[in-house]
Structure 1
Amino acid sequence: MRSWKHLLLAAAAVTLLAGNPATAEKIRIGSPYQTTTLDPMRSANAGSIETFGQLYSRLLRIDETGALAPGLAESWEISEDGTVITLKLRDAKFSNGEPITADDVVFSLLRVRDTPESAYPAPMQSLDKAEAVDAKTVKLTLKHTFAPFLGNLEVFNAGIVSKKDVEARGDKAFVENVVTSGPYMVEKWVPNDRLILAPNPNYWREGFPKNDGAELIEIAGSNTRVSMMLSGELDAAREIPWSQVAEVKANENLEMPLEPSTQIYVALLNEARPPFDNVKARQAAAMAMDTAAMAQAVTFGNAAPANSTLPNALKFYDPTLKVNGFDLAAAQAAMAEAGYDGREITILITDEPEREQQAVLMQALWAQIGIKAKIEKTDAGTFWTRLTEGDYDATPTWWYNETTDPDLAVRWAVCGSCGNKAYYTGYNNPEVDKMVEAGAAEMDEAKRAQIYADIQRITTTEVANIPLYYPPFANAYSKGITGLRMTPALQWTLESTERVK
């Protein structure tokens, strides 16, 4: 899904070939994240997610207003009980000129659900059967009523690939002469350096893309990305360091809109061992956390302090929730009630400046209520192994949600029976797990809103994790282009981007 593990930075710096005349008119985007594969089924890392959205169209798409809109499916009908979705496909072609048919759709969705190498099958797990009624009609039968499913058809790995091509060429179909269904084709891919995209002349959206293609350039160093933005060598850059946001904003040729994201920073507490197996100790740790001060210190005030276990860009997020807020006196009382024995806990982190800064603040804030903590740094691989095996006491980290529907989010972060022990904390409330399923099965929006409000209230009160802050996307853009933004689900609006005349 979604954690830092799936969004690891490129390990080494790349050689930059700025100013290549062959690609001078292309939109140049610098990112620390690698494109590791061109197969939309095989990766859930950030760089690949951004790439998949450019190469493969999905049945539905998020429009400019943030609403779910027709994609390859021009219309759809839902049965009265919500378990059967019938989609009518528009006339569309792959980049090789072959028609996109219902057989391609069925093949693509079941490939995500059933292939052992599928990196993220979760969005398709409620799908029971996928059938091609005819060349332009797809019938999807769900295992049960599942309100979020339409939105899951817009998830990054639900892009439609050519059944004929993949079956004929296997893995080569995503390496050599890639057949795409989205706005772009692959002009050239240099792994660990850049992906060069060319417009797909057979793209179904008439008049799109509105540019001559793009270069997705991997630039590990944040200082390099910033200097290239300031010098005009890039049209956009991902993840400007918080300490340099003000400098970039002050440049008359650049803008930083700080777009909403579904990302949330949290402190995970291991509830399988003392002291955080005690809810009072967890509540004490939460109330000792001055999230406003942390957001100010780490992000220079660019992120909002978090109040809920759900990201604030999701549907049904509750901005009015106020539980376990910063209160040192209440935290000290809760810690005394917990019977904390003074044992030293370990805050496990990777060797990243932001993570270390968060850990130092946690350590200092907890010290004010008597929690003794030391910080232990480790490499990313070891960190992930220890986290998943429950070999830690506490850690600051983050996650994001692929859609704006909260279903995948609650299954990832607070559900004890959904496969990852509530983001490896061991938090487990059977009533919450029942509510997770009830929220997915409820078709009435008002009733769904109440269910997710209750989930947020319970899990924040019981401290499934400690919400820290909600960061926006710290992306920079040249004023020489228009139309480029990043959606909350890590998708560039690249096809709508054009140069200012």
Structure 2
Amino acid sequence: MSFTRRAPKRAAVALGIVAVLALAGCAPAAQGDAASDTPTAGGTLTYGRLASASDLDLHTQITANNAFAIDKIFETLVSFDENGKIIDWLAESHEISEDGLTYTFTLQPGLQYSDGSDVQAADVKFSLERNLAKEGPLMLTAPIANIATDDAARTVVITLDEPYTPFLSELTSFASGVMPADFGGKSEEDYLKAPIGTGPFAVSEWDPSGDLNYVKNEHYWQDGKPLLDGLDYVFVADDNQLLQRLNAGQIDAIEQVPAANADAVANAAATTLLKGDSWAIEQIFFNTQKPEFADRNVRRAIAQTLDLPGIAKATTFGTARPASALIPPAIEYSAADAHDATPVLANDVAAAKQELAKSGYPDGFTATMLIPSGNSARAQIAQIVQESLSEIGITVEIESIDLAAFRDRFKEFDYDFMINSGQSDAPDPNGLVTFQADPEGFSNSFWTHYTNPEVTKLMHEGRTTPDGEKREQIYLDIQEILAGDVPYIPVYYSPNLHGTTDKVHGLESLPNGSVRFQDAWVTAK
């Protein structure tokens, strides 16, 4: 059978503040108007990023700096479009048996890697089995019993031990990308220094602490694409410097436009704002290994102290929607609309003081909030949190460190609480819930160490329950529990804000935060 995502079923009720902020909502974004723009092949597009690509191993990485470099090289059997709808990609077609246990994928004809070698069905088996063996952050969690291949028929048949509803969604992740079996005859180490894949670009030069230069894949399976001869990822560590270089025309596009500058980029004659819905949420995370934040009442008190609509408005200038549930509205089964109408924990300082009085720290305490430097929005959020929590006797000290050190610190649980973003890599709610609420998962509930047996039980039920009202209720229940336990506070749903000069066309913004470049082209100078 073919796969079609059921349209989200959401509550129709919304508060007045949500109605006002709905103006900040975004539609899927793509650049260029086919009726007025004539694509031109050739040229190199320079793309500014806040972090360098430090590792290209698709089975061990998860952070955006690496993920959105890897997905230009490796591609998957199925993918998703700008609306989050699952679509066939390296697979020409797929079928699912009536019992939901057997998935048959037929590969596109004539698939080749960037070195001109043929893609075999056996390569898919090798790649998926390596994904499982590495046990990385985006390891396939589907109960795979067997992977059978037939190179002559171009088929890959995957059999599951039991139905697993989010399986296709998992396969859209870059970590399910296809690489040559046995690394094309190279050692694993040598292969990953300059990997070949089926993506629109191949690595030309790469500095793991600096820039990454791609060259056009001359053997790309989509006819006539990519249009660009090259794509250069340029590392600039500060968002304001990125913007300055864009405005000066020194780079062609930037991965992230500061929200404060979104209108300026959109309205300037020489620049364009590319805005789209996303699966990202800016959040405050608590290290529940710390005694103060192991206390549920403390976390609930902090949640009730913060004016999230005010924070969203002040720090994103109306570009983002305040968050009220873990799953963003762009993903099916989000509870955002329902929680907007009836908040689980509303902003109420008096109630927050009462909640703190019930905790083990009624007189407050001192804690350090960890943030990455170079991110003006997070610095502003931290200052608002600092000021807000002083009202209930909690003293917040802010520690700002460079992004690489920030990542090392929170992954070692070396923090009190922090500001970070949660990001779904796939269109099914299971991915985000697993990453942020599974105590046995790679990230240990996004490095919060949060555990709730009821959430764990519901999470497993959500994986095996077919799409429909019953599965929807499971995820609504999970979001209700998380909103009450507050292992993290979703602050706002981050839109994708990419900026380009006026000579760039054809970029496609995806809800996971990545950008597709195979249709991109630049006006000749």
| TM tier relative to shorter chain | 0.7 to 0.9
Distance 1:212 1:386 in 2: 39
Cα drift, residue 255 of structure 1: 1.7
Aligned CA RMSD, in angstroms, stands at 2.7
What is the aligned partner in structure 1 of residue 19 from structure 2? Answer: none
Task: Report if the CA contact (8 A) 2:178-2:198 is conserved.
Answer: yes
Distance 1:373 1:223 in 2: 26
Cα drift, residue 348 of structure 1: 2.9
AA in 1 matched with 2:44: K
What is the aligned partner in structure 2 of residue 14 from structure 1? Answer: none
Task: Report if the CA contact (8 A) 1:417-1:428 is conserved.
Answer: no
Distance 2:175 2:459 in 1: 23
Q: 2:503 aligns with which of 468, 471, 480?
A: 480
Q: What's the secondary structure of 1:411's corresponding residue?
A: helix
Task: Report if the CA contact (8 A) 1:285-1:366 is conserved.
Answer: yes
Q: 2:131 aligns with which of 112, 136, 139?
A: 112
Cα drift, residue 314 of structure 1: 2.1
Task: Report if the CA contact (8 A) 1:113-1:121 is conserved.
Answer: no
Q: 1:223 aligns with which of 221, 229, 240?
A: 240
Task: Report if the CA contact (8 A) 1:52-1:159 is conserved.
Answer: no
AA in 2 matched with 1:60: V
Asked whether 1:358 is paired with 2:381, we answer yes
What is the aligned partner in structure 2 of residue 66 from structure 1? Answer: 84
Q: What's the secondary structure of 2:148's corresponding residue?
A: strand
Task: Report if the CA contact (8 A) 2:365-2:393 is conserved.
Answer: no
Q: 1:257 aligns with which of 263, 266, 274?
A: 274
Report the CA distance shift for 1:195/1:384 in structure 2 as closer, same or farther (over 3 A).
closer
Cα deviation digits, residues 249-292 of structure 1 (max 9, x gap): 33112121332222212222344454444433322211111111
Asked whether 1:433 is paired with 2:456, we answer yes
Task: Report if the CA contact (8 A) 1:49-1:490 is conserved.
Answer: no
What is the aligned partner in structure 2 of residue 444 from structure 1? Answer: 467
Cα deviation digits, residues 133-181 of structure 1 (max 9, x gap): 44411121234321111111111122211115433443222335x4321
Report the CA distance shift for 1:194/1:268 in structure 2 as closer, same or farther (over 3 A).
closer
Asked whether 1:491 is paired with 2:514, we answer yes
AA in 2 matched with 1:150: L
Task: Report if the CA contact (8 A) 2:370-2:416 is conserved.
Answer: no
Asked whether 1:291 is paired with 2:308, we answer yes
Q: How does 1:143-292 map onto structure 2 within 5 Å?
A: 143-163=161-181, 165-176=183-194, 178-292=195-309
Q: What's the secondary structure of 2:325's corresponding residue?
A: coil
Which 5+ residue runs of structure 2 have no aligned equivalent?
Answer: 1-40
AA in 2 matched with 1:139: V
AA in 1 matched with 2:353: Q
Q: 1:86 aligns with which of 88, 91, 104?
A: 104
What is the aligned partner in structure 2 of residue 6 from structure 1? Answer: none
Q: 1:338 aligns with which of 351, 355, 359?
A: 359
Cα deviation digits, residues 354-381 of structure 1 (max 9, x gap): 4443222212212223334444456667
Task: Report if the CA contact (8 A) 1:28-1:217 is conserved.
Answer: yes
Q: What's the secondary structure of 2:87's corresponding residue?
A: strand
Cα deviation digits, residues 283-305 of structure 1 (max 9, x gap): 22111111112122222332221
Asked whether 1:310 is paired with 2:310, we answer no
Distance 1:372 1:227 in 2: 36
Distance 2:318 2:82 in 1: 28
Cα drift, residue 105 of structure 1: 0.5
Cα drift, residue 183 of structure 1: 1.6
Distance 1:401 1:58 in 2: 17
Q: Bigger shift: 43-52 or 71-80?
A: 43-52
Q: Bigger shift: 55-64 or 345-354?
A: 345-354
Report the CA distance shift for 1:440/1:378 in structure 2 as closer, same or farther (over 3 A).
same
Number of aligned residue pairs: 476
TM-score (normalised: structure 2): 0.83
Which has the bigger relative contact order, CA under 8 A and spacing at least 6? 2
Task: Report if the CA contact (8 A) 1:148-1:407 is conserved.
Answer: yes
AA in 2 matched with 1:32: L
Cα deviation digits, residues 438-472 of structure 1 (max 9, x gap): 11111233322221111111211222321211221
Q: 1:103 aligns with which of 83, 97, 122?
A: 122
Q: 2:431 aligns with which of 408, 423, 435?
A: 408
Distance 1:364 1:95 in 2: 53
Distance 1:448 1:293 in 2: 33
Q: What's the secondary structure of 2:456's corresponding residue?
A: helix
Q: Bigger shift: 433-442 or 305-314?
A: 305-314
Report the CA distance shift for 1:108/1:124 in structure 2 as closer, same or farther (over 3 A).
farther
Which 5+ residue runs of structure 1 have no aligned equivalent?
Answer: 1-22
Distance 2:389 2:321 in 1: 21
Q: What's the secondary structure of 1:256's corresponding residue?
A: strand
Report the CA distance shift for 1:418/1:119 in structure 2 as closer, same or farther (over 3 A).
closer
Distance 2:328 2:95 in 1: 30
AA in 1 matched with 2:172: E
Q: What's the secondary structure of 2:353's corresponding residue?
A: helix
AA in 2 matched with 1:337: K
Distance 2:409 2:207 in 1: 33
AA in 2 matched with 1:422: S
Report the CA distance shift for 1:323/1:32 in structure 2 as closer, same or farther (over 3 A).
same
Report the CA distance shift for 1:262/1:66 in structure 2 as closer, same or farther (over 3 A).
closer
Report the CA distance shift for 1:66/1:125 in structure 2 as closer, same or farther (over 3 A).
closer
AA in 1 matched with 2:522: R
AA in 2 matched with 1:97: G
Task: Report if the CA contact (8 A) 2:59-2:139 is conserved.
Answer: no
Task: Report if the CA contact (8 A) 1:55-1:182 is conserved.
Answer: yes
Asked whether 1:395 is paired with 2:418, we answer yes
What is the aligned partner in structure 2 of residue 40 from structure 1? Answer: 58
Cα drift, residue 94 of structure 1: 1.7
What is the aligned partner in structure 1 of residue 477 from structure 2? Answer: 454
Distance 2:253 2:403 in 1: 27
Report the CA distance shift for 1:475/1:64 in structure 2 as closer, same or farther (over 3 A).
closer
Report the CA distance shift for 1:236/1:331 in structure 2 as closer, same or farther (over 3 A).
same
Cα drift, residue 228 of structure 1: 2.2
Asked whether 1:320 is paired with 2:338, we answer yes
Q: Bigger shift: 54-63 or 367-376?
A: 367-376
Cα drift, residue 59 of structure 1: 0.6
Distance 2:246 2:479 in 1: 39
Distance 2:436 2:232 in 1: 35
TM-score (normalised: structure 1): 0.86
